[in-house]
Amino acid sequence: MDDNQSGDQTKSSIAAATEMGSDLADKTRKAAAQAGSAIQEAATQTSKQVADAAAKTYQQGTQAAAQGTQAAADFVTKQGAQAADYVSKQGAQAAQYVTKQGAQAAEYVRSNAAEQPWTALLIAAAVGYAIAYMVHAR
């Protein structure tokens, strides 16, 4: 009977060990499923955070580009206005200079024509002939 008891105890121990192994396997499966869910949730959250950061970075880049474009346009406008002002002043000075030189030339021609009328008449005739020749040659 001792053998019988020993065999029953062995069967009972094996059954307990099998049940314990099965229970341990079930707990391991549940823990792995929970870990997988936690990892999936963390990955989803990380993905959302990365997407939000990328959208924010894109928006900031777009705003920076718009500000840079506006600053460049303002600079070019200011430089254009300064250039136009400078050219306008230079043009006015050049016009004054040309007017003064023209008046001096007219006075010189008038005084020389009064002093030497025949020479002035010959020069005027030569200039008229040259102009007529150029017009006729066309």
Q: Between residues 52 and 6, which one has the greater pLDDT?
A: 52
* Per-domain residue ranges of the chain: 2-137
Quick check: 112 pLDDT over 90? Answer: no
DSSP secondary structure of 28-63: HHHHHHHHHHHHHHHHHHHHHHHHHHHHHHHHHHHH
pTM for the predicted model, two decimal places: 0.45
Average pLDDT over residues 15-33: 82
Most confident of 25-29, 50-54, 110-114: 50-54
Of 1-5, 73-77, 81-85, the one with minimum mean pLDDT is 1-5
